[in-house]
Structure 1
Amino acid sequence: MSIRKIVMHPAEILEQICRPVEKFDSSLAKILDDMYDTMIENDGVGLAAPQIGLNLRVAIVDVDDESGTIEMINPRIMKTAGEQTGPEGCLSFPDLFGEVTRPDFVMIEALDRKGRRYSLEAEGFLARAIQHEIDHLDGILFTTKVTRYLKEDELKGVESE
């Protein structure tokens, strides 16, 4: 396992639609393990493959709750409901935070590292983090959804996704 370099905005790969994963092998497992180590090293709660320079539909989320680490390969949002507005940051935009409105509930379908399909329902902060990472796989940056940028004194306890 290794820590990879985080790609910073305005790198082109951050705004590209990622290609689906087709091979579920040890190379994919290594990417997922590296992504986890990279996310933890950078104090993030999520990381998408384009953020480490890979054009692949792979993302992980770990918000430090009972859900543990969620690995999402070729994820699709199946359903959303409700609304929440809250602060977001991004490892590819150091020291930039803004208020973003997203659905409060999300249901996704994705594959795990062995290619097995699963579905997952999430709400609140976990739903926010999942949607943020799936946006990355579609080349959508949180900055396109910010309604208001936050000043440093408004940032207590905000984590980067």
Structure 2
Amino acid sequence: MAITTPGDPAGPAPHAPYGPLPEGGTVRPITRWGTPVMHAPQQRVTAFDDDLAALVADMVATMRAADGVGLAACQIGVDLAVFVVDCPDASGRQVQGVVCNPVLTLPEGKDRRLDDDDEGCLSFPGAYVECARPDAAVVEGAGLDGSPVRFEGDGLLARALQHETDHTNGTVFGDRLSAKARKRLGKQHDKAVEEFPDGWPADDRT
């Protein structure tokens, strides 16, 4: 998921309840909307091995190079239901984690409140529009070693958990917009296209 203003890398130590995000990955080009892998449910993770760890390290490196707060495997062209997040919650606490085979739970009834903040996607860079989502979310799944993980969040973290779980189900946030809002999103994207050439962010480093 994209944000309009990157966070402060010199802030407090992140909250990583299941261990730090893997380091040492390679920055890869980000896959764009319209590519088939972005619009179909992803294959479940069944092998929690070195190949998965290497993939996730690449995802982390790519997310950071693009100044994102979340990234799913399909966004680097891999058909696998896994995502990473490095995102603040409503209190400003930075939360890091990896979720394989995510299952999303959202508030219902009187506990359900919508947040209409702007949303953007690294796979449709340079564009942000309001997208109504519940202001709290829980995602459960498996971590890098196959053990159960659970992330609960509010604020931007809630939005990121929903956005990235959507990716594993073949949904981009543009699918959740009205035709008018999606048209506005497309115009923003088109204006910014020169800032995000093919190969970005892998070919955009100095």
TM-score when normalising by structure 2: 0.69
**2:106–2:134 contact (8 Å) kept in structure 1:** no
The answer for unaligned runs of 5 or more in structure 1 is 153-161
- CA 1:117–1:67: 2 relative to 1, 3 Å: farther
In the aligned structure 2, how far is the partner of 1:86 from the partner of 1:78? 20
- 2:78 alignment partner, one of 43, 50, 54: 54
Amino acid across the alignment from 2:100? I
**2:103–2:139 contact (8 Å) kept in structure 1:** yes
Deviations 1:84-109 (A, max 9, x none): 11101111102221110001111121
The structure whose Rg is larger is 2
In the aligned structure 1, how far is the partner of 2:151 from the partner of 2:29? 29
- 1:131 alignment partner, one of 162, 166, 171: 162
Shift of 1:67: 4.2
Deviations 1:33-89 (A, max 9, x none): 110000000111110010000110000111155343221111101333321111011
The question of 1:98 aligning with 2:129 is answered yes
In the aligned structure 1, how far is the partner of 2:69 from the partner of 2:151? 17
The answer for unaligned runs of 5 or more in structure 2 is 1-24, 189-206
- 1:13 alignment partner, one of 28, 37, 40: 37
Aligned partner of 1:71 in structure 2 is 98
In the aligned structure 2, how far is the partner of 1:75 from the partner of 1:85? 24
Structure 2 counterpart SS, 1:139: coil
Aligned partner of 2:145 in structure 1 is 114
In the aligned structure 1, how far is the partner of 2:105 from the partner of 2:173? 20
In the aligned structure 2, how far is the partner of 1:9 from the partner of 1:77? 22
The question of 1:84 aligning with 2:108 is answered no
TM-score when normalising by structure 1: 0.88
Amino acid across the alignment from 1:51? Q
**2:83–2:98 contact (8 Å) kept in structure 1:** yes
Amino acid across the alignment from 1:26? D
In the aligned structure 2, how far is the partner of 1:75 from the partner of 1:139? 13
**1:98–1:143 contact (8 Å) kept in structure 2:** no
